[in-house]
Amino acid sequence: MKNINLHIEPGEKIAFAGLNGAGKSTLIKLIIGLYKPTSGKVLINGVEMEKIDIGEYQKRIGVVFQDFYRFAFTLKENICLSDIESRFNESRVHEAAKGADLLDLVYKLDQGYDTYLTKQFSLDGVSDLSLGQWQKIAIARAFLKKCDVLILDEPASSLDPLAEFEIMKRFHILAKDKTAIFITHRLSGIKNMDRIIVLKDGYIVEEGTHQELMYRNGEYAYLFNTQSEGYVS
């Protein structure tokens, strides 16, 4: 990352856009404290990250990375890894699953939320979940967490367009009172964000609303129009 100067307001909904290797995921990991900057500072409410309790700070963040984990637990336990106490609150678990478009899977499983997702601990477990279904479980995990900041890093990379559309609708509902950051290659899903940050080769090259960036006819407009041509050709 080079010459990054970015301020995110509480409650703001922003998206990071750019090609592979542009620096989107690296910037997220700097923001949440997984990486330390080699120069410059990351400030949280005006305080340098090195001076705050990083564990307490990260508890306030719900995040789904591209390389999410899959555990040999029940569906409920997999969802509740972000908030263990919620395993006793069926309505919260159900709302998180609904937000991640998981209810079709729940209703298909013989034991619903109590179904093991591998056969490692139960012969009655399932072993044929798709990558897209596991991705929805990871998204439900983030939706369940009681957090102030919600971050989704390419959450729809293994989902079909209809599933992505449903998750984006619910993302905006569930993130209503939160600061939210969304990273995606599919630019059609971020048109309604408060602000879009466009990265290229580690630099922020543009930022603004979808309409503003399309009017400027720069990097974002080029990427958006290129994708649009692929859909209509």
Look up the CATH superfamily of 1-60+149-233: P-loop containing nucleotide triphosphate hydrolases (3.40.50.300)
Long-range contacts of 51-59 (CB under 8 A, 24+ apart): 57/33, 58/32, 58/33, 59/147
Which pLDDT does position 29 carry in this prediction? 93
Which pLDDT does position 131 carry in this prediction? 83
* Whole-number Å distance between alpha carbons of 65 and 57: 18
| 3-state SS assignment for residue 32 | coil
Q: Note the pTM of the prediction, 2 decimals.
A: 0.84
Beta carbons of 196 and 190 less than 8 angstroms apart: yes
Beta bridge partners of 17: 198
Specify the domain boundaries for CATH 3.40.50.300 within the chain. 1-60+149-233
Token digits of residue 55: 């564990």
| pLDDT, tens only, 21-63 | 889 989 999 999 999 999 999 999 889 999 999 999 998 998 8
Q: Which of 26-30, 166-170, 189-193 has the lowest mean pLDDT?
A: 166-170
What is the average pLDDT score of the chain? 87
Q: Taking residues 58-85, what's their average pLDDT?
A: 87
